[in-house]
Structure 1
Amino acid sequence: MKIGQFITKRIFFLFLAISLKSFGATVDTVNTFSASMNKQIKAVVLKPNSYDNKKTFPVVYLLHGYSGNYANWVNTVPKIKDLVDQYQLMIVCPDGNFGSWYFDAPKLENSKYETYVSKELVNWVDKNYKTIANKSNRAITGLSMGGHGALYLAFKHQDIYSIAGSMSGGVDIRPFPLNWDMAKSLGTYAENKENWDKNTVMELTHLLTPKSLCLVIQCGTEDFFYNVNVKLHEKLAFNNIPHTFITNPGAHNWSYWSEAIEYQLLYMHNKFKN
């Protein structure tokens, strides 16, 4: 082979590699509508690099924490775009309105984020994107408030999700009655204990039916939610509810969550395949 031909071929393959790499995940920022709250709500939708070629994809709903918004995950952990490509799935990051805790708030008429995420948003995404529109190919996870929200929504809507995860989740909100403005949504704990019991993950395990949900729960050992996560794990184990429980060194921060999301998506990808 002549030197000129060799160089030309090398340039061609280099250009091809760069071109293929550049066509990565697509990030859409979309406006969705909640009929229950009568308002537009933003969300981020990540599509894999083969979106235009492959027919349909499984979907992971990824929830942000308290004081966050729909763009937190993609802005703070941009490698989730690579994970979308690696596992050939979609990720949807809805807005949880700063501090909704993802339930329909009994004390706030216009805060119905259980209805929005589990019904209105899922229906909107399935209508507007190439999803595999069944529970077997739909998962939900999140961090902190979003970890609570993911398990809460999955426990209550086992017809919608087949896989649920949590990263540093506030899985029992009752030990924190004065924190994160939860009293605005539920009333004070002293006067509205029933509201708090009905809207904490720890008290919803009785809703779980055999083989309905695959569960993966993670929390760092230095996290202020560590103890409630251990208690949830012990309760699930005592009741013979299968789940994966991961603890490792880490605090309540993005450094921990940026690693945890890799475990979560690998777990979900493997479950989708099965």
Structure 2
Amino acid sequence: MKKLFRAGLVLFNLLLIAKLSIAAKVDTVETYSDAMHKKIKAVVIRPNDYDKLSAMPVVYLLHGFGGKYSDWPNNVPAIQELADNYHMMVVCADGNVSSWYLDSPVLSDWKYETYVGTELVAWIDNHYKTLKSRTGRAITGLSMGGHGALYLAFKHQDTFGAAGSTSGGVDIRPFPNNWKMAEKLGTYAEHPEYWEKNTVINMVNLLTPGHLSLIIDCGTEDFFYKVNCNLHDLLMLRNIPHDFYVRPGAHNWPYWQNSIKYQLLYFHDYFEAQLKAGAKK
């Protein structure tokens, strides 16, 4: 009996070592923003078959208000396994604790749209084996990062072919006193034009049906639930195809730990479809 136990223990350890040896690699890297003249960190998750492939797609993953680049991998370690399963890189960007991923019209040194939407993408493409085209890139995020992902994708459709948002602040206007947005846009009373111009729901006019692949979800107990439903209704009115999911959940990590599984699956299917379409040409 003891021999069987020892044999089982050895087998278990061997399987554990084998699993660890093929697990995704997680790099913490230091990038640089010319626009803001500073170094900014990011997390890069490389799937276990990274060395075997000549290039692979990338999903850019944005954190929420008060967070940082390490939030997603720390709170959802399953992302590593999902990167392995879907043969994709995941880049967790840093948008400062309160950037809203925009270039501020009132602060000249606040240019997070430029950093994430242009500089970070170029840095990743220069340092990793990526598919260097819009059809090989997707972007998504939670809360402030959900706003940021759609905001960047809508404005940079030559860079991103797919985008998502989970519990995203897709209309910032109902929250003029929250989350330090007035620091980046001026107060709503003094500069309503900045708020109108920089809220995602007012950028739907930039979309052409079928050009940008979209997935949006939100929990029914979330304080952003109504604005997400409003965005969905507007996309439907404008005939913009998108996947929209509503399910029980609040504005918290248990909801995002679940939702990111569906978002990454959606992007995997998008990348696969693009590869097949390219192969037929």
Please classify the TM superposition score into its range, dividing by the shorter chain length: over 0.9
Residue 55, structure 1, aligned to residue 51, structure 2: no
- In the TM superposition, 1:166-205 aligns within 5 A as 166-205=165-204
1:17 Cα deviation from its structure 2 partner: 3.3
Q: Deviations over 1:17-68 (max 9, x none)?
A: 3333112011100000000000000000000011122221100000000000
Partner of 1:18: 16
Matching residue's letter, 1:199? N
Query: More deviation in 19-28 or 72-81?
Result: 19-28
Q: Cα offset for 1:269?
A: 0.3
- Corresponding residue for 1:163? 162
1:223 and 2:222 correspond: yes
Shift in alpha-carbon separation, 1:32–1:142, aligned structure 2, 3 A: same
* Offset, 1:13: 6.9
Shift of 1:255: 0.5
1:54-104 per-position Cα deviation (integer Å, ceiling 9, x unaligned): 221100000000000000000111111111111110000111110000010
| Counterpart position of 2:152 | 153
1:10-49 residue pairs with structure 2 within 5 A? 17-23=15-21, 24-49=23-48
Q: Deviations over 1:225-267 (max 9, x none)?
A: 0000000000000111000000000000000000000000000
The match for 1:252 is 251
Specify every segment of 5 or more residues in structure 1 that has no aligned partner in the other structure, as ranges: none
Is 2:129 aligned against 1:130? Answer: yes
Count of residues paired in the alignment: 270
Gaps of 5+ in 2: 274-281
Q: Which amino acid aligns with 2:168?
A: G
Q: Distance in 2 between matches of 1:154 and 1:188?
A: 25
Instruction: Give the TM-score, by structure 1 length.
Output: 0.95
Alpha-carbon deviation of 1:14?
A: 5.8
- After TM superposition, list the pairs within 5 Å mapping 1:255-274 onto structure 2: 255-274=254-273
**Amino acid paired to 2:237:** F
Match of residue 235 from structure 1: 234
- Whether contact under 8 Å (2:147, 2:165) holds in the other structure is yes
Matched residue, 2:277: none
In the aligned structure 1, how far is the partner of 2:10 from the partner of 2:97?
49
Q: Which amino acid aligns with 1:20?
A: A
SS in 2 for 1:215: strand
